[in-house]
């Protein structure tokens, strides 16, 4: 489990929903975790725009992917 995932999603699950991401985003803003705010917004983009037909949940693989921003930027989206 990555540091980001442990900090924002302490409950170990395979998927996280838009409400959980939104709640974590509010908390990260309050705690001034600016990098976590960026990562959570990336998760919302993935869920809303990149994988809109996959349901209302994002797989834990994507949560781990946004933890490493360099890896996220190298990910072959749509290729």
Prediction pTM value: 0.86
Query: pLDDT at position 49, please?
Result: 84
The Cα 6–Cα 26 span in angstroms is 16
In a domain, 44, yes or no: yes
Reported as a pLDDT band with limits 50, 70 and 90, residue 51 is: confident
Our count of domains for the chain comes to 1
Reported as a pLDDT band with limits 50, 70 and 90, residue 70 is: very high
Task: Quick: pLDDT tens for 6-16.
Answer: 889 988 899 99
In a domain, 79, yes or no: no
Q: Which domain holds residue 68?
A: 3-74
């Amino acid at each position: 489990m990555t540091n980001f995932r442990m900090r924002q999603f302490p409950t170990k699950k395979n998927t996280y929903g838009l409400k959980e991401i939104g709640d974590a985003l509010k908390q990260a803003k309050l705690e001034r975790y600016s990098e976590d705010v960026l990562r959570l917004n990336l998760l919302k983009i993935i869920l809303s725009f990149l994988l809109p037909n996959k349901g209302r949940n994002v797989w834990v693989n994507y949560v781990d992917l946004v933890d490493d921003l360099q890896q996220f930027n190298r990910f072959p989206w749509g290729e």
